[in-house]
């Protein structure tokens, strides 16, 4: 039996694609190498706690958002969630900034923290919201980018209108360039704050972030950020259940080791010498992994050059999952915290800045009574973690560095910790099959770096890509959009 479509990887991109294809009546089979759904936004359970593998903040559930639209299309009920306001607290060396969702409250917070530059920063954010709305209007039409076929180019040209033309000044500048307009490029404190938000969302700093991309990310926080009860894995489970309700299959612990094409069908080799035949493919297991999966003949047909891919820089993540006594955070109602290390605020990785997310006190699925589940995550250079001689020492030092920083801002944190489980890029390769432990796609490297994106087109007939390594990029919103794009192109 040959399936209509095989989807490799049950991250958010693969599950969104599978759900969309299932809705359209396609015979779909989904393969996931691990025993959990959601990929880098999945979960696992240990000692009565549920831990979120990576991404923790829910975006796109507001009216008209990506997940709101998808759930309505599939006639699914959104899971219970809490709208965050403030979104998070940013703990800087000399102050804590409350990052409010509502524009009025946020502008008041700007006046409180940056009184001498408040009007300039508010004007900058006026521009952020303006450009973010322009980007949203274009993404509603979900273009294939970068264009690879005459049809792609035709669709892109058709999108040239007064709205898209207004975006032109922001397509060839960085966020840093735009800061110059408001005389903010030398405002050290605001730059440190902004770098923290951009590292969280776009994986880079103001100097290297294309303006339109950074603006789209910054305004997304203010559209609606949510704590999804049970974690984002709850959303992945709903999408998988929908796929199965349509009579299709979602197989866990089924890694795809090799893909080749024979007699007009793709042959997917999995465990115990099992082989599955599919007519078309959606690959959600990252561009990093393609050379290890596709046959030599298929790889030659693709747009991906293995040597170039291996040398392309991408971040990894150092992560700590832990349980903590709820009394440690009893004096704050905020569940999401960003920490700027007091002794090295300009470092954007390896503990210089990092995020801590706490489960909601009322979310009993995440932690035992009186406890809260937490995830700490910082960007890290993947190369340093593959030296076996001092691996354990490095892991222990990084764990202590992060915990010490939280202790600095929340005295009693160390004493209140229960279970503590650190993870490195080595962990991400082992459990999520991310080659070299690379996660989060590719960091922008300058004003025109967005032109180097991979599109959903692989270059191989009937093979489509989705996930954080293709346009529109990382984050649950980006990967979900790419999955929907891949499904819709496949259906054309």
What pLDDT digit, counting tens, does each position of 306-347 carry?
Answer: 877 777 888 999 999 999 999 999 999 999 999 987 666 567
CB 138 within 8 A of CB 171: no
CB 246 within 8 A of CB 23: yes
204 and 293, same domain (yes or no): no
191 and 261, same domain (yes or no): no
pLDDT of residue 346: 64
pLDDT of residue 432: 84
For residue 62, tell me if it sits in a domain: no
pLDDT of residue 143: 76
| Count of domains observed in the chain | 2
245 and 216, same domain (yes or no): no
- Over 90: is that where the pLDDT of 284 sits? yes
CB 163 within 8 A of CB 134: yes
For residue 435, tell me if it sits in a domain: no
How confident is the model over 186-230, as pLDDT tens digits? Answer: 999 999 999 999 998 899 999 999 999 999 999 998 999 999 999
How confident is the model over 364-404, as pLDDT tens digits? Answer: 899 999 999 999 999 999 999 998 789 999 999 999 999 99
For residue 153, tell me if it sits in a domain: yes
127 and 161, same domain (yes or no): yes
How confident is the model over 154-165, as pLDDT tens digits? Answer: 888 888 888 788
271 and 165, same domain (yes or no): no
pLDDT of residue 345: 59
For residues 5-16, average pLDDT: 97
How confident is the model over 102-138, as pLDDT tens digits? Answer: 999 999 999 999 999 999 999 999 999 999 988 888 7
Domain boundary among 194, 220, 246: 220
33 and 125, same domain (yes or no): no
Alpha carbon distance 181, 198 (integer Å):
19
If DSSP codes are grouped into helix, strand and coil, which group holds residue 362?
A: coil
292 and 146, same domain (yes or no): no
For residues 461-487, average pLDDT: 94
Q: Give the HSE-up count for residue 113: Cα atoms under 13 Å, Cβ half-sphere.
A: 25
pTM of the model: 0.94
For residues 282-304, average pLDDT: 93
239 and 295, same domain (yes or no): yes
CATH number at residue 450: 3.50.50.60
Long-range own/partner contacts, residues 407-410 (CB < 8 A, 24 or more apart): 408/342, 409/91, 409/96, 409/337, 409/339, 410/328, 410/329
For residue 249, tell me if it sits in a domain: yes
How confident is the model over 191-201, as pLDDT tens digits? Answer: 999 999 999 88
Q: Which domain holds residue 485?
A: 2-40+232-311+443-491
Domain boundary among 199, 220, 241: 220
Which tokens hold the place of 293? 């999966």
196 and 236, same domain (yes or no): no
Helix residue ranges per DSSP H, 312-424? 391-409, 413-416
For residue 146, tell me if it sits in a domain: yes
CA 485 to chain centre: 17
Domain boundary among 220, 254, 279: 220
Alpha carbon distance 258, 270 (integer Å):
7
Helix residue ranges per DSSP H, 294-367? 296-301, 306-311
């Amino acid at each position: 039996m040959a399936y209509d479509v095989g989807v490799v990887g049950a991250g958010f991109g693969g599950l969104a694609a599978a759900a969309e294809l299932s809705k359209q009546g396609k015979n779909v089979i989904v393969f996931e190498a691990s025993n959990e759904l959601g990929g880098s936004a999945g979960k696992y359970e240990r000692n009565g706690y549920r831990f979120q593998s990576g991404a923790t903040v829910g975006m796109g559930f507001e009216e008209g958002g990506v997940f709101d639209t998808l759930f309505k299309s599939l006639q699914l009920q959104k899971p219970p969630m809490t709208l965050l306001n403030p979104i998070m607290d940013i703990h800087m060396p000399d102050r804590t900034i409350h990052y409010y969702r509502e524009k009025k409250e946020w502008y008041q917070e700007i006046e409180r923290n940056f009184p001498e530059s408040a009007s300039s920063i508010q004007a900058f954010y006026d521009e952020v919201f303006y450009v973010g709305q322009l980007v949203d209007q274009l993404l509603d039409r979900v273009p294939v980018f970068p264009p690879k076929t005459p049809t792609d180019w035709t669709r892109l040209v058709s999108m040239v209108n007064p709205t898209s033309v207004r975006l032109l000044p922001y397509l060839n500048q960085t966020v840093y360039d735009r800061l110059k307009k408001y005389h903010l490029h030398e405002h050290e404190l605001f730059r440190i704050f902004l770098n923290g938000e951009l590292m969280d969302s776009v994986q880079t700093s103001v100097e290297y972030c294309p303006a339109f991309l950074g603006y789209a990310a910054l305004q997304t926080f203010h559209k609606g950020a949510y704590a999804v009860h049970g974690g984002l894995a709850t959303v992945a489970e709903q999408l998988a259940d929908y796929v199965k309700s349509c009579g299709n299959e979602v197989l866990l612990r089924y890694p795809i080791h090799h893909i080749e094409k024979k007699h007009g069908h793709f042959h997917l080799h999995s465990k115990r010498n099992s082989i599955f035949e599919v007519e078309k493919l959606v690959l959600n297991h990252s561009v990093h992994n393609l050379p290890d999966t596709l046959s030599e003949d298929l790889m030659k047909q693709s747009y991906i050059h293995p040597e170039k891919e291996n040398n392309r820089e991408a971040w990894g993540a150092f992560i700590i999952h832990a349980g903590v006594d709820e009394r440690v955070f009893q004096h704050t109602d905020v569940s999401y915290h960003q920490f700027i290390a007091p002794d090295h605020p300009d470092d954007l990785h390896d503990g210089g800045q990092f995020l801590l997310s706490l489960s909601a006190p009322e979310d009993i699925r995440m932690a035992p009574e009186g406890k809260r589940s937490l995830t700490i995550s910082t960007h890290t250079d993947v190369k340093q973690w593959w030296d076996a001689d001092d691996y354990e020492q490095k892991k222990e030092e990084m764990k202590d560095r992060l915990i010490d920083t939280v202790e600095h801002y929340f005295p009693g944190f160390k004493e209140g910790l229960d279970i503590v489980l650190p993870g490195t890029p080595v962990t991400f390769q082992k459990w999520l099959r991310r080659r070299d432990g690379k996660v989060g796609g590719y960091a922008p490297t300058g004003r025109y770096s967005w032109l180097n994106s991979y599109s959903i087109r692989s270059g191989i007939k009937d093979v489509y890509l989705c996930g954080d390594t293709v346009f529109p990029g990382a984050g649950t919103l980006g990967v979900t959009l790419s999955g929907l794009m891949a499904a819709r192109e496949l259906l054309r």
